[in-house]
Amino acid sequence: MRTRIAKPLLFASPALLLYLIFWVIPIFMSLFMSFYQTTGFGANWTFKGLDNYRHILTDNTFYISLVNNLKWMGLSILFPTIIGLCFALMLNSRIKLQTMFRGIFYYPCVLSMVSVGLIWSWIFHPSGIFVDFQKAIGITKPLVMMAGIDTALYGVFIAGAWASIGTGVVLFLAGLQTIPSEIHEMAMVEGANFFQKFWYITLPLLRQTFIIVITLALINSVRVFDIVMATTRGGPGTGTYMLGIYMYINAFKSMYFGLGSAVSWLMVILVAIPVIPYIWVMQSSDT
């Protein structure tokens, strides 16, 4: 019995050790650090208790970042999810060049967010194709998406959504292909049209897929960082400030690692508030 347990642990020990060093220990270290004032691992540590959290919760920049993240969260749940489902329904039907379209829709997911940000920065540049298109159709004052404080967030979101829709497409397509075709055939015999089949058969059977897609959207919307840094760096002004940007500035620019760690744990709480109840409700409805 001991041999059966010891051998798997022996083979898994290198991976477990790396997981412990680079994942578990940093998590608890950041929690510990959030209660201290420190500018580095070798510097003096001063215990501050909840002062870091109090400072963050009285900082107006934190609330600007939080509101921007909440906007991104709402848009991420709405648009990429709906568009991904629509594309998945299209690809699940018998269309020509189905395999090619699957690759086209998933291709942006392969790119890094930095590359995606650079691509869309060129598109939305004052001399880019988006402005040229507006001029071509007669708009005298074209909109420069990432230059305005009121529109920059939506410009960055378009770039992020373009890169994330493919994940939803793949997940929804996998869910659609697990639905037995006999169910739809029986519904057709009973006289159900496309919308009735979609509402009463497809959507209920995609419940678990929706859990995965929406959970990923919520998590990714809170930890938005790289695409903002590649496009606007939080500007113009605080128009695209996110919690990730706010954490980065406190921890790595201002060198207040305690504040940065506190922001990261507030981000964890922000993810847990909607995700945990949503998963619990959706799973309990299946039992």
Q: Evaluate whether residue 52 is within a structural domain.
A: no
Mean pLDDT, the chain, whole residue set: 87
Residue 233 near residue 248, CB atoms below 8 Å: no
- What residues form DSSP beta bridges with 46? 37
Q: Evaluate whether residue 4 is within a structural domain.
A: no
Cβ neighbours of residue 251 under 8 Å, at least 6 residues apart?
257, 259, 260, 261, 263
- Domain containing 187 — which CATH number? 1.10.3720.10
Q: What is the pLDDT averaged over residues 37-57? A: 84
- What residues form DSSP beta bridges with 47? 36
Q: What is the pLDDT averaged over residues 31-48? A: 82
Q: What pLDDT score does 46 carry?
A: 87
Q: What is the pLDDT averaged over residues 126-133? A: 92
Q: Is the Cα dihedral 181, 184, 190, 191 positive or negative?
A: negative
Cα angle at 68 between 51 and 81, to 5 degrees?
Answer: 125
Q: What pLDDT score does 249 carry?
A: 92
Record the pTM.
0.88
Q: What pLDDT score does 279 carry?
A: 72
CA-atom Rg of the chain in angstroms: 23
Q: How far apart are alpha carbons 42 and 276 in whole angstroms? A: 37
Q: Evaluate whether residue 232 is within a structural domain.
A: yes
Q: How many structural domains compose the chain?
A: 1
Cβ neighbours of residue 68 under 8 Å, at least 6 residues apart?
153, 239, 240, 241, 242
φ, ψ at 32 (rounded to 5°): -65, -40
Q: Evaluate whether residue 269 is within a structural domain.
A: no
Using 50, 70 and 90 to split pLDDT, how confident is the model at 285?
Answer: low
Using 50, 70 and 90 to split pLDDT, how confident is the model at 235?
Answer: confident
Q: What is the pLDDT averaged over residues 166-175? A: 90
Q: What pLDDT score does 207 carry?
A: 87
Residue 222 vs residues 66, 72, 121, 195: alpha-carbon distances, Å: 9, 8, 22, 34
- 240-277 pLDDT tens trace: 999 999 999 999 888 889 999 999 999 999 888 877 77
Q: What pLDDT score does 267 carry?
A: 92
Q: Is the pLDDT of residue 42 over 70?
A: no
As given in the structure block, the two tokens for residue 157 are 């979101």
Q: What pLDDT score does 247 carry?
A: 94
Q: Evaluate whether residue 233 is within a structural domain.
A: yes
Q: Is the pLDDT of residue 287 over 70?
A: no
Q: Evaluate whether residue 77 is within a structural domain.
A: yes
Q: How far apart are alpha carbons 17 and 233 in whole angstroms? A: 35
Q: Evaluate whether residue 88 is within a structural domain.
A: yes
The fraction of the chain above a pLDDT of 70, given in percent, is 95
The fraction of the chain above a pLDDT of 90, given in percent, is 41
* SS3 readout for 178-208: CCCHHHHHHHHHCCCCHHHHHHHHHHHHCHH
Q: Is the pLDDT of residue 281 over 80?
A: no
Q: Is the pLDDT of residue 174 over 80?
A: yes
Instruction: Tell whether omega for the bond before 204 is within 30 degrees of 0, i.e. cis.
Output: no
Q: For residue 239, what is the DSSP state?
A: T
Q: What is the pLDDT averaged over residues 102-118? A: 88
As given in the structure block, the two tokens for residue 212 are 């995965």
Q: Evaluate whether residue 116 is within a structural domain.
A: yes
Q: What is the pLDDT averaged over residues 137-154? A: 90
Domain extent at residue 172: 69-241
Using 50, 70 and 90 to split pLDDT, how confident is the model at 183?
Answer: confident
Q: What pLDDT score does 151 carry?
A: 92
